[in-house]
């Protein structure tokens, strides 16, 4: 299919060629003791279910691949069976790995043919609005091999010489110009073949998938992110997430 004949994300089932890989295999150490982070409840529903629904809310997404905690695939499968998804959306569950990068690779390996666009979305960003998801898909359809949702920073950022011991003062070595910086979120969107090649060839530490595509020498583009796409990382983030859900319930007239 040529680019011109690709329907928009809001088009009907014929547009359904996007798959979402959701890494959900982390423990959530920074959130504190308890169940794996993706299985913690927000407003009574596991974070992972919110994240899956956020991807399935896009009419373009026809498959969601959940990368479960290594010993939790069966539990995740029954959770997904118990929580309704739109009829157009299939799901698969695979066990994850030791690092996020490894978990994403395991999700990619499980993707069946027929999806040319792949989103990678953190289970820890359960509240991303569908307009952000669609904007990422749209930019991939428009020809970008990799797309990230991104926001300007509120804080000034300093580069430091990290101290050997936590809590020790650290010398500041530089202050990058804030206007040139963006905080990057998920879902990140990719031409599937590009992302697969990146995961097969790039080695070493990376903190996001688009960074691997950058290492291939390809251009990554940023589209506007959303404040509700924040990552649930520390306990205070749970409070914020519950507050966002409460505000949505009010606005929806529940
Ligand atoms: N992730 C994963 N496999 C891993 C590690 C992380 O699938 N081995 C996933 C997490 O489940 C999460 C996303 O990657 O949805 C982003 O990672 P992060 O927010 O760091 O989650 P955790 O690694 O679980 O949290 P922490 O770093 O505090 O332990
Ligand atoms: Mg982590």
Q: Which pLDDT does position 112 carry in this prediction?
A: 97
Q: Which pLDDT does position 203 carry in this prediction?
A: 85
23 pLDDT higher than 90: yes
Q: From the CA of 76, which ligand is nearest?
A: 1
Tell me the pLDDT tens digit for each residue of 31-89.
999 999 999 999 999 999 999 999 999 999 999 999 999 999 999 999 999 998 999 99
Q: Which pLDDT does position 5 carry in this prediction?
A: 46
Helices (H), 83-168: 100-109, 130-141
* Domain parsing of the chain, residue ranges: 14-252
For the beta carbon of residue 94, count every other beta carbon within 10 angstroms. Answer: 20
- Residues 6 or more apart whose CB falls under 8 angstroms from that of 133 comprise 9, 54, 55, 57, 58, 61, 119, 187
Q: Is the CB of 69 under 6 A from ligand 1?
A: no
CB contact burial 101-131 (16+ within 10 A = b; e otherwise) = bebbbbbbebbeeebbbbbbbbbbbbbbebe
| 180 or 10, which is more confident | 180
Atom of ligand 1 nearest to the CA of 31: 28
What CA–CA distance (Å, rounded) separates 64 from 107? 10
190 pLDDT higher than 50: yes
Ligand 1 mean position, distance from CA 7 (Å)? 33
CATH fold, domain 14-252, is: Spore Coat Polysaccharide Biosynthesis Protein SpsA; Chain A (3.90.550)
> 182-184 and 90-95: which strand pairing?
unpaired
| Torsion sign (Cα): 117, 190, 60, 138 | negative
Tell me the pLDDT tens digit for each residue of 75-118.
999 999 999 899 999 999 999 999 999 999 999 999 999 999 99
């Amino acid at each position: 299919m040529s680019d011109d004949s690709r329907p928009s994300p809001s088009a009907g089932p014929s547009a359904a060629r996007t798959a979402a890989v959701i890494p959900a295999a982390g423990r959530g150490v920074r959130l504190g003791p308890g169940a794996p982070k993706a299985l913690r409840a927000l407003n009574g529903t596991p974070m992972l279910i919110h994240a899956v629904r956020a991807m399935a809310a896009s009419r373009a997404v026809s498959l969601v691949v959940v990368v479960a905690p290594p010993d939790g695939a069966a539990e995740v499968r029954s959770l997904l069976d118990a929580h309704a998804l739109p009829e157009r959306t299939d799901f698969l569950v695979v066990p994850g790995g030791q690092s996020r990068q490894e978990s994403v690779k395991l999700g990619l390996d499980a993707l069946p043919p027929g999806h040319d666009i792949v989103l990678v979305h953190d289970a820890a960003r359960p509240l991303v609005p569908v307009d952000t998801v669609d904007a990422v898909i749209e930019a991939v359809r428009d020809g970008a091999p990799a797309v990230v949702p991104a926001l300007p920073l509120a804080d000034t950022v300093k580069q430091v010489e990290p101290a050997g011991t936590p809590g020790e003062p650290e010398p500041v070595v530089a202050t990058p110009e804030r206007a040139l910086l963006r905080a990057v979120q998920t879902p990140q969107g990719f031409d599937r073949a590009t992302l697969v090649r990146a995961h097969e060839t790039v080695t070493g530490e990376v903190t996001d998938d688009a960074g691997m595509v950058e290492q291939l020498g390809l251009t990554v583009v940023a589209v506007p992110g959303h404040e509700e796409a924040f990552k649930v990382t520390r306990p205070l983030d749970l409070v914020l997430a519950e507050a966002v859900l409460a505000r949505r319930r009010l606005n929806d007239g529940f």
